[in-house]
Structure 1
């Protein structure tokens, strides 16, 4: 019996004529309907003709989550006075309630993707409604692209509706061939906004970690809301852990039930939340409660302002959920839950100023997530690079390249990127291709399926970080996770039927711990890791750290199944792993096994070895004789770059030559060569050969005459090399007749250090290449008495003071009153006959 009173109360009913017209004229439509208008529960049966106002059709409704699919089917069936399984049914992974008379089937987008891959024409289906498309889940975007392709090429009669409360309506309209946008009137219940930030700002989230102060503050806000407002409270939190902590902080609320709703919650709890209750309730939920679900009795929403989104670190091969600030669109969706049945209020645990800085929409998964499964779906569809798919956002090239690399490694695609027969089978398992590879290559037995099922949905933290122990906990557990896990194990055993036993070379151990390690290593070969100091080094090159107290910390080898990377740290943090032995690591990661000649500069000399390695993990090494001369040369160059050209033999003459050339380069420029470190490295072929090619180790470098090599850089071709001694002489003749060395250590101003008496009579400071020398006038003992670049000025003004100070100390040396006209000498008075 149809519940006409409930149908009449749904505002979306007024939009049905326009929606039908749009589909009749264009075959596609975008339906924008605010929360609570009934788009999920009324539109599908109306399109299916279940109210007797249209021809009978078969309609599929795609929801982003299992909880939403089950709830939508139950609600539609209730409106018709039926139970799911009749004219209205649902199919989610591991659960199906569909009969031969089913006209409206609610499925998850993942289920619909699998169905499209098996039957591209969707035989017998007249219309598909993509619900909550604003959430931009990867499966939903992919499904939409495939459906549009089907409509364009195979089924022009297939009707498509993209439905959402808050979305980029024009973007979806363009994607579906300029589909008409139909807007439904919303429920006009106002929702008051109360800003409820903490006394001090929360520390920014990183990974799945949030500020420990958040649960206590949210619990306080909930208590305030209960005391200030009537009705049930719906609180949005980022994850299961935060829900549990807030529940613990609330304690006993006295006459108020506290319910926890998330993807892992038992079906009975999920159903209870969606049903009217006699007692007042506080519902703690993740973002699963943002869309599709109406929680009756809710008048208050408390929003922690955080959400979990997938992220992938391609450089380290890690993918995981991370905590982010909620978008404005999601915040509106959450607030709307308070106004579905009556005026309500939302308490936002952030400031109004912060609200203005929130992103407009959630990040599309295709931009941030691991694209391996998407790439396999595209390859099986016949479009390996996804260039022909109608997508709101193109997949990032780097992410697609990483995905194709994984697919090639597991044999899912050929060199051209096309799906292989194995790839098609992997796609139909309903698993990530990595896990599908592990399931098939390990033989698909029940014990294997148990480990794969546990990896397919990360177990509760209380199961621990040891994969084998977690499997045992799931077997024992009577919790909701354990129930879903057992259902998934049965599904995987069925899906892997006929696997034909393990892949060649794979020996499946009978011991549970060893089996868990094998499955994890097959799924994540680049994450097999050997103990190296206080951490484990993965084959990918990233270090992995286990928590304090972990039973795996001393394991020589592990296979890391789940890990993340805290912000600001280069090491991965292990969440779930299993012990393996080296043989299993070699088997699972055989594609990464290499033997290479390694010649490098290490510990101050050339080290040449033949290395066997599993990716970045060194397995064995032995000395390498007769190493490739080119590799040796590169190692020597690396040594010179690290330690400098001081590794060569620098005589006094060679050092002076380099200084003289540096002086000429600075003051004369070309063609005089740049002899700085970087310039010498850049021109090493021109000045250090053939000596460098003959060298094999550090000692050989030390025998190379740097001066002889450096002379090759002189401008011989232009003839300028012959002017070196004229422009930058090693010594110059001073007035006394002595030849005194010029110090070119400072190329800006070379120095001439000479005894003061030898410069008598000279009016101008000597020059080299037109640059006046800085004259250090020395006492008879060879100590600096004065420094000047202007001798004439010194004789007039500075000499008198020096004479007064030194003539008594050195009476045997001449100290004339007029040095400018005195005869220069390098001798004492006695030698002069005075």
Structure 2
């Protein structure tokens, strides 16, 4: 046992408080800075492996496989043992532990699987949830289940929530007001160097990062190597960005290592082992916590991170590149001060720092919750309302998850949300329910091995060089020769074993929603796409259950996993998915000529109507119909299209049209709805509007504005269409097409809206007369289309009229016309006009129109429609 190394860990000072809290309360929150030994010394002490104290079985849950393996190796080294003796680990597809193991480090996903199989955890005394500040969904779920176990089955089970930076008060409340134990760390000062790009770069969207940003990060790494000593740890959001930056660091005088969750174990070990040679370690968030990387004195922080995102409306879920939180920035910077004073180069401006989010988003708020919902259902709490969670799952996301799990989709839960026997098997596979459905149902036709291999390809993002063709990626993975191929084979073997242990194959179909699948896919074989490895002759023959070729097998599994993404070609590499979202292939894709695709991975840029296909497989219509059977609908589709009513009987797979034929006798209610859509789209001008009808609408609009009450609002098309039942029936119900609308007399129909019930309708001509008789005897039409009624009349016809006419108590706006009918003056006060304005009009027009009367005193003159000659002749 390396006693000196154990004694040097700062968390030792907090151990008495932690042990006392667990003895008295059973739960505790441990806050300890990175490098203090919370991940390594604390479990050993709790297990009684460092001398003194009773022996206990301790399970340590880590959010990542790399951290679980590293923690186990470190603890075994401290004890002077090999991994698998007193300390072991279990991650997906790999276990190194034995009968004498007292401390087992597992991923939170493995812990959840154990809890579902054995809720009591009968052989475990203490569970440590490490790095709980990261708020991964599996960790939150495991904490909720463990608290349930403590409350109902095993109150003696001890629980520790441990983190470097966390919401200690929140976790304390969640754990039943658990004591908070804090450990002081030994930290060295870290200098901050702000190093933003010289020119603006495009913000990240989806999985895309501006290449200019990555080039800038590479230049900052070179600067750090030149200005500072020690190893450089550079944080980047994902594997692709790590590879690009590594490619731009050629020629640096340092060993460049790429560390991420999918890196080979040898590379991970090299990063976690001191070296005599200077190193640049390019890492994802796996290096933020849990892992101590020796020799690091400099951190270069790109400021970017990856978070899950799901678009429930489009059925798209993926990782998204986001700005890293301030809490993540502190964690990353702290890596430079673990062993000595250090420096952090931040690739953004200091002014931007305060605008960054304080903490990363809890995964439960932003992620696809289908797997969480299935876990909760198998636990006995389908809506998760009884689970102790720091954040409740969003109602919309839970509703979408239940839809995915339903009997009609993957068949995992019944109508009440309870798990089916099939759902219980799916939960034990350690897969997303979509992939579990593909594995169980695909096994029947493909055999366990081929189905497991394809599902393993979909369960982890493959290298970009594998391309967008799932079948070609499958062939490339089978050839091996790269680190991804090794991990893929291990996961394939795990899934094949899991199928056997959970009763997979045909027996597992149980409540499967998938109808019998076509054995050959139906139709002519799809053309073989050209792939990097060569033509069809290089393909491996199908293995067990292998009547179906690689291309169709890949399409089958992808369609079973993502039925909402089966897609039909629209031309030029564009497709329409069953979800209703468009999908586009990149130029040069070998899939561009396929009639049908099963889209496995796609992402959609903000404000883009279509998604970009990143991984897909050729599909045929029969397989699409079977895989997405729950999306199949048949019905009458009657709609307003291209300026008229179209009526068809249509069979669809979601939004994808399969078959359509014209309908001779469509449902009248659907026709009526389509006609209303046409009126909304093109306006009420589709009806027949005579001059009288236009005038009536204007008069009613005036009365509504002026008197309100029972007088209807007819000025707005939307308001009129909302009352279509009141005024357009029965004509609308008899109409069948656009031409029928043109035969509806709008004026006659509007008459139905008059307030007949109150008796006010009979006062229409009194309150808003169509015409007003003027002193000359003429009956002049009133224009009600403006805000104020307008009476346009020749000036001479109003001689002798002292007061302005009114309608509904509102003075009309008099447009006084010249003998030629042109406006000469406008007034709402005739008396004032006769006394003042008339003189100017008379002076201007008298010489132009000498044949018409222009008396000096219009108030006493005789009104007339005639010239002076006509007047003398009378």
Task: Give the aligned length.
Answer: 831
Paired residue for 2:475, among 450, 472, 487? 472
| Pairwise CA distance, 1:264 | 1.5
CA deviations on 1:358-387 (whole Å, 9 max, x unpaired) are 322211111111111111111111111111
1:588 aligns with 2:627: yes
Paired residue for 2:453, among 450, 454, 469? 450
Which residue is 2:360 aligned to? 362
Measured in 2, the distance between the counterparts of 1:28 and 1:819 equals 102
Which residue is 2:231 aligned to? 232
1:462 aligns with 2:465: yes
Measured in 2, the distance between the counterparts of 1:238 and 1:402 equals 28
When structure 1 is superposed on structure 2, of 34-43 and 19-28 the one drifting more is 19-28
Structure 1 unaligned blocks of 5 or more: none
Paired residue for 1:488, among 487, 491, 501? 491
RMSD, aligned α-carbons: 2.0
Summarize the Cα distance change of 1:750–1:138 in structure 2 as closer, same or farther, 3 Å threshold: same
Measured in 2, the distance between the counterparts of 1:59 and 1:760 equals 108
Contact 2:603 2:612 in 1 (8 A): yes
Which residue is 2:517 aligned to? 506
**Aligned-partner SS, 1:323:** strand
Summarize the Cα distance change of 1:89–1:345 in structure 2 as closer, same or farther, 3 Å threshold: same
Measured in 1, the distance between the counterparts of 2:816 and 2:359 equals 77
Contact 1:659 1:747 in 2 (8 A): no
CA deviations on 1:202-253 (whole Å, 9 max, x unpaired) are 4322111122222222222222222222211111111112111221222111
Which residue is 1:646 aligned to? 685
CA deviations on 1:636-684 (whole Å, 9 max, x unpaired) are 2222222222222222222222222222333333333322223322332
Paired residue for 2:300, among 295, 299, 302? 302
When structure 1 is superposed on structure 2, of 144-153 and 366-375 the one drifting more is 144-153
Paired residue for 2:564, among 523, 526, 545? 526
Measured in 1, the distance between the counterparts of 2:228 and 2:647 equals 76
**Aligned-partner SS, 2:204:** coil
| Pairwise CA distance, 1:694 | 2.2
**Aligned-partner SS, 1:676:** coil
| Pairwise CA distance, 1:747 | 4.4
Which residue is 1:741 aligned to? 781
Summarize the Cα distance change of 1:33–1:769 in structure 2 as closer, same or farther, 3 Å threshold: closer
**Aligned-partner SS, 2:39:** helix
CA deviations on 1:260-303 (whole Å, 9 max, x unpaired) are 10112111110111111121111111110111111111111111
| Pairwise CA distance, 1:793 | 4.2
Summarize the Cα distance change of 1:718–1:144 in structure 2 as closer, same or farther, 3 Å threshold: closer
Contact 2:790 2:815 in 1 (8 A): no
Summarize the Cα distance change of 1:147–1:672 in structure 2 as closer, same or farther, 3 Å threshold: closer
1:576 aligns with 2:579: no
Which residue is 2:643 aligned to? 604
Summarize the Cα distance change of 1:791–1:422 in structure 2 as closer, same or farther, 3 Å threshold: same
Summarize the Cα distance change of 1:796–1:45 in structure 2 as closer, same or farther, 3 Å threshold: closer
Which residue is 1:186 aligned to? 185
Give runs of aligned pairs for residues 324-339 of structure 1, distance below 5 A.
324-339=322-337
Contact 2:441 2:505 in 1 (8 A): no
**Aligned-partner SS, 1:333:** helix
Paired residue for 2:761, among 701, 715, 721? 721
Measured in 1, the distance between the counterparts of 2:178 and 2:839 equals 100
Which residue is 1:69 aligned to? 68
Contact 1:442 1:508 in 2 (8 A): no
Which residue is 1:564 aligned to? 603
1:114 aligns with 2:105: no
Which residue is 1:433 aligned to? 433
1:391 aligns with 2:389: yes
Summarize the Cα distance change of 1:738–1:511 in structure 2 as closer, same or farther, 3 Å threshold: same
Which residue is 2:140 aligned to? 141
Summarize the Cα distance change of 1:176–1:832 in structure 2 as closer, same or farther, 3 Å threshold: closer
1:622 aligns with 2:661: yes
CA deviations on 1:326-346 (whole Å, 9 max, x unpaired) are 222222221221222222222
Which residue is 1:657 aligned to? 696
Measured in 2, the distance between the counterparts of 1:112 and 1:151 equals 15
Contact 1:662 1:747 in 2 (8 A): no
Measured in 1, the distance between the counterparts of 2:852 and 2:171 equals 100
Measured in 2, the distance between the counterparts of 1:97 and 1:658 equals 84
Structure 2 unaligned blocks of 5 or more: 510-514, 521-547
Summarize the Cα distance change of 1:226–1:500 in structure 2 as closer, same or farther, 3 Å threshold: closer
| Pairwise CA distance, 1:604 | 2.0
Which residue is 2:43 aligned to? 44
When structure 1 is superposed on structure 2, of 815-824 and 56-65 the one drifting more is 815-824
Which residue is 2:743 aligned to? 703
| Pairwise CA distance, 1:716 | 2.7
Measured in 2, the distance between the counterparts of 1:52 and 1:412 equals 48
| Pairwise CA distance, 1:138 | 0.8
Contact 2:698 2:715 in 1 (8 A): no
Which residue is 1:323 aligned to? 321
| Pairwise CA distance, 1:316 | 1.3
Measured in 2, the distance between the counterparts of 1:309 and 1:376 equals 21
Summarize the Cα distance change of 1:609–1:274 in structure 2 as closer, same or farther, 3 Å threshold: same
Which residue is 1:730 aligned to? 770
Which residue is 1:26 aligned to? 25
| Pairwise CA distance, 1:810 | 4.6
Contact 1:233 1:302 in 2 (8 A): yes
Contact 1:672 1:715 in 2 (8 A): yes
TM-score, normalised relative to structure 2:
0.92
Contact 2:782 2:789 in 1 (8 A): no
Measured in 1, the distance between the counterparts of 2:766 and 2:201 equals 73
**Aligned-partner SS, 2:505:** coil
CA deviations on 1:84-123 (whole Å, 9 max, x unpaired) are 1222111111111112222211111111111111111112
| Pairwise CA distance, 1:63 | 0.9
When structure 1 is superposed on structure 2, of 591-600 and 655-664 the one drifting more is 655-664
Contact 1:508 1:515 in 2 (8 A): no
Paired residue for 2:554, among 508, 516, 528? 516
Give runs of aligned pairs for residues 252-291 of structure 1, distance below 5 A.
252-254=251-253, 256-291=254-289
Measured in 2, the distance between the counterparts of 1:624 and 1:271 equals 69
Paired residue for 2:380, among 369, 379, 382? 382
Summarize the Cα distance change of 1:392–1:771 in structure 2 as closer, same or farther, 3 Å threshold: closer
CA deviations on 1:513-544 (whole Å, 9 max, x unpaired) are 11111100000001111122452111111111
